[in-house]
Structure 1
Amino acid sequence: MSLLSPSLEAFWAVVQKGTVLEAAKMIDLTQTGVTQRIRSLEKQLGVTLFTRSRKGMRLTEEGESLLRYVQAARDLEGETLLNIGGKQTPAIKEVCISGPSSLMRTRIIPKASAVIKKYPQLRVRFDISDDNSAIGKLKSGFAQLGTLPANQVGRELDSKTLSPERHYFFGPASWKKRPLSDIVEKETPVDFDPQNTMTLDLLKKYKMNKAPKQGHYANNLDALCSLLIAGVGYSALSEEMARPYVKTGALVQLSSTHFVDQSLALAWYPRAEMPPYFKSLIEALTKKS
């Protein structure tokens, strides 16, 4: 049972599935019926909620605002029905957390696991992405919580600071005795993608980027570390992320004195009433270790 209006149910289904066809299947309605409900909702509000393309339906800015209302309403819906119905089974609650692989592996998943055990009806999607897309996924409603650089947190978001990530230069164990200056001069940097500037930032900090080289890229942590282990190049990795590879002797920290800290935050859109499980997630993920 849903307390949302039929039009809002159709809106939610389109957001979840991305197309009218799949939304129609989700709520057992014809495509025409879904389209009519969306158009009726747009007419009532006097706005356009979606832009339509070959890739599906994408939310407009107005659609993103409505989505946050619907998400808040759904948060309260389950508890309301439970209180009214007495013995009804609590509704499943879904939360998506988006962030980079380093934070997900070392902090987010371990800390969220305790909250998941506390709330049996909670279902969490860990969206691991190293392309700085968390802010966009928060805006689109794909994610409800995002870990991102602190300078990306806008005024429209609520946030709490996280402990910064400290990045050092890492490379294959065979380079352990090589001078860092020799490595930077002769070897190639490796990063997640061209937009990831952590290695360049570290080089700039110590004025070692007089002639920065075009780097190699691998948008997966294991693949990137495999390149480093194979001796293809060097990279600026977070200390937490590299620790398991250093422990096994596969990678080595190339310098203990060259590092850069990245300020981080956990962000979310404000909610009039924050459900207990959501509050618990925030408290657990931002708790200082």
Structure 2
Amino acid sequence: MFLPDVRTFLAVASAGSLSAAARQLDVVPMQVSRRIAALEEDLGVRLFHRTTRSLTLTAEGEAFVPFASAMVDAESGARAELSPSQGKASGVLRLTAPSGFGQSVVLPMLASLLEANPELRIDLDLSDRQVDIVGQGLDVALRIAPLEDSELVAKKIAPNPRLVCAAPAYLKKHGRPSTVADLDNHACIRLSAVRRWPLVVDGALIRKRVDACFTTTSVEAARTAAVQGLGLAQLTYWDVFRQLADNSLVQIHLEDAAMEDLSVWAVMPSRRYVPNRVSVFLGALQSQIAELGEGHRR
């Protein structure tokens, strides 16, 4: 199997057309067509449905995407391993991150990362849903929810505990809750995906029903509503660390309950052949988190 043909296949699958892939690869469309035909002949299957107006992956083509990505990544990893002096990341880094964490931590670091790695391109999906990273050809998924058992590889990046917080103006008007029972007397802001607030009581995780004055699918909307004084919010540390630092939000500690310990995880399709672009990104992310944490402790 000729690796340039495999790269061409991935470019066409990503771009959605032969002409767009040709522009991306800086070749003529006829060359792209010939490489795809050669790869299909080599594999003995049809990889794309072609009409005069559209081009889509066949079932075999969709199944081949993760294998093709692994082959290209293996070559990139080998080159990086055998040529450590290069040290730069290149290619397209495809990743997904929760919207709140992505907005507050990932986006602010991308300018310096791209400046330090001019051959790197980033395709970032900000979403609170868990996506199929293998099926969608992603390099890495940043996740905060408790991880389910799977064949994917997970690397812990940083602690990210849940916490309850509110605006000073809200607490001045309605008082500060000190126990789990006190939550019943307060307006609460709830994420749609978290129907009850997780709390640790006597070492056991419970799910506390709260009176939601505002429910939203967006972490950013929940944070904004809390800053505006709508009610108490239960979010994670890295969602609100800036607001805690500038005192637009205040953390609330309950006497009879602790918060659920969560972490930021990097989930990858495989431990083998981790592309250099992924290693460079995760190293930069850990440095960013350490710098932000140190800066807000001063």
- Pairing 1:29–2:25 present: no
Give the aligned partner of residue 44 of structure 1.
42
- Taking the TM superposition and a 5 Å limit, the aligned residue runs for 1:9-20 are 9-20=7-18
Aligned AA for 2:12?
V
- Taking the TM superposition and a 5 Å limit, the aligned residue runs for 1:94-243 are 94-104=92-102, 120-121=117-118, 123=120, 125=122, 127=124, 129-133=126-130, 135-141=131-137, 143-148=138-143, 149=145, 151-152=147-148, 154-155=150-151, 157-176=152-171, 177-179=175-177, 181=181, 183-184=183-184, 187-191=187-191, 194=192, 196-197=193-194, 200-202=197-199, 205-209=205-209, 216-219=215-218, 221=220, 223-243=221-241
How far apart are 1:45 and its partner, in Å? Answer: 1.9
- Give the unaligned 5+ runs of structure 2: 291-298
Q: How far apart, in 2, do the equivalents of 1:165 and 1:271 lie? A: 24
How far apart are 1:131 and its partner, in Å? Answer: 1.4
Give the aligned partner of residue 267 of structure 2.
267
1:119-161, CA deviations, whole angstroms, 9 ceiling, x for partnerless residues? 644526372524134x5245422x3222224524632x33322
Alpha-carbon distance change, 144 to 276 in structure 1, aligned in 2, over 3 angstroms: closer
Question: Are the counterparts in 1 of residues 104 and 238 from structure 2 also a CA contact under 8 Å?
Answer: yes
Q: How far apart, in 2, do the equivalents of 1:116 and 1:16 lie? A: 21
Name the count of aligned residue pairs. Answer: 270
Give the aligned partner of residue 62 of structure 1.
64
Q: How far apart, in 1, do the equivalents of 2:41 and 2:127 lie? A: 39
For the residue of structure 2 that corresponds to 1:151, the secondary structure is coil
TM-score normalised according to structure 1 size: 0.68
Question: Are the counterparts in 1 of residues 187 and 211 from structure 2 also a CA contact under 8 Å?
Answer: no
Q: How far apart, in 2, do the equivalents of 1:126 and 1:41 lie? A: 26
Alpha-carbon distance change, 78 to 216 in structure 1, aligned in 2, over 3 angstroms: same
For the residue of structure 2 that corresponds to 1:201, the secondary structure is strand
Alpha-carbon distance change, 252 to 178 in structure 1, aligned in 2, over 3 angstroms: same
Question: Are the counterparts in 1 of residues 73 and 273 from structure 2 also a CA contact under 8 Å?
Answer: no
CA RMSD, 1 decimal: 4.5
For residue 244 of structure 1, the aligned residue among 242, 245, 260 is 242
For the residue of structure 2 that corresponds to 1:13, the secondary structure is helix
Aligned AA for 1:216?
T
- Give the unaligned 5+ runs of structure 1: none
How far apart are 1:208 and its partner, in Å? Answer: 2.5
1:222-258, CA deviations, whole angstroms, 9 ceiling, x for partnerless residues? x332222223343221123322212323222233444
Task: Tell me the percent identity.
Answer: 18
Give the aligned partner of residue 8 of structure 1.
6
Q: How far apart, in 1, do the equivalents of 2:54 and 2:166 lie? A: 40
